[in-house]
Amino acid sequence: MEESTKRIAERFQCRYTVFKKGTAPEPVEQAYRRALKAGRMEGFYPAIFLLDEYAVEWLEEVVSQDYDRDEIIANCGDNGKEILEERYQEYMEDLELDEEGQEDFIGNETEGEVLHHFIGYCSFSDGNLEADVLLLELPVRHPWEIIGCLPMGGWNECPGPEEMISICKYWYEKYQAIPAVFTHDVMEFYAPAGLNGADSLEAAKEHYAFCVDRVDQGTRTYKLSELAAGLEGSDVWYFWWD
């Protein structure tokens, strides 16, 4: 275990489990699902945090700024849907797509990548843990409040923490999706109910609004319908901001 791992873990002031760099990833996901079940009874939500050097630097910078977790949570609005709609419209305007161009961007793909397992903490070289991983048992009442403890975002095209917590609240209420995995540039949700009966294309538009790279770098055809097709069978949602 890296020396910084224990130091970072103790800052969260909650129970945690450490999974060491280079070990197999399966035990992390298994432990997460057990913790999620236990947390519903014990009053916490689990979150997985990959402690690579960039994440450690980011978290220490956040802590040094003395951010107010309770204030971020208290300011959570019920405007997550509106935030995503505005972001999607802005991206369409930036791409200068008329109605025909938007239809072409949507496409008519019927196959897409289906995700059932977390991958954000896995090394591309051997599939093992890229760095030490923390499984945190965060003492929050609602899953969107995890963002108050891990205030990710606010750089590149990633929504800021205040917007992100509202989006996470909206997604939990609509899809039962829970923010689960955090790295310095990846976020994954666990969505055991899938799309919870919602339209897959509308969900894909929301995912694109949240993270354009989900389509621009995460699909084969660069079509929104490919993402939608994959979401229909997925219970893990993956986002990466380049």
Cβ pair 191, 235 in contact under 8 A: yes
The pLDDT of residue 183 is: 93
The pLDDT of residue 66 is: 63
Q: What confidence tens digit (pLDDT) does each residue in 115-145 have?
A: 999 999 999 999 999 999 999 999 999 999 9
* Cβ-Cβ contacts under 8 Å for 4 (sequence gap 6 or more): 51, 56
Cβ pair 214, 187 in contact under 8 A: no
Does pLDDT of 63 surpass 70? no
The pLDDT of residue 74 is: 84
pLDDT top residue among 4 and 52? 52
The pLDDT of residue 58 is: 79
pLDDT interval class at 13 (50, 70, 90) = confident
d(CA 50, CA 102): 36
What percentage of the chain carries pLDDT values higher than 70? 97
pLDDT top residue among 67 and 236? 236
Most confident of 10-14, 154-158, 172-176: 172-176
Evaluated on CA atoms 214, 216, 217, 222, the torsion sign reads positive
Q: What confidence tens digit (pLDDT) does each residue in 179-205 have?
A: 999 998 999 999 999 999 999 999 999
Q: How would you classify the pairing of strands 178-182 and 45-50?
A: parallel
The pLDDT of residue 65 is: 63
Mean pLDDT for 67-76 is 81
Residue type, 60: E
Cβ pair 5, 134 in contact under 8 A: yes
DSSP-derived 3-state class of residue 75: coil
141 exposed, middle or buried (CB, 10 Å; 0-12, 13-18, 19+)? exposed
The pLDDT of residue 79 is: 96
pLDDT interval class at 113 (50, 70, 90) = very high
The pLDDT of residue 154 is: 81
Mean pLDDT for 19-45 is 97
The pLDDT of residue 64 is: 59
Mean pLDDT for 68-83 is 88
Mean pLDDT for 72-86 is 92
DSSP-derived 3-state class of residue 232: coil
- DSSP letter (8 states) at residue 129: B
159 exposed, middle or buried (CB, 10 Å; 0-12, 13-18, 19+)? buried
pLDDT top residue among 62 and 122? 122
* Cβ-Cβ contacts under 8 Å for 123 (sequence gap 6 or more): 129, 130
Does pLDDT of 228 surpass 70? yes
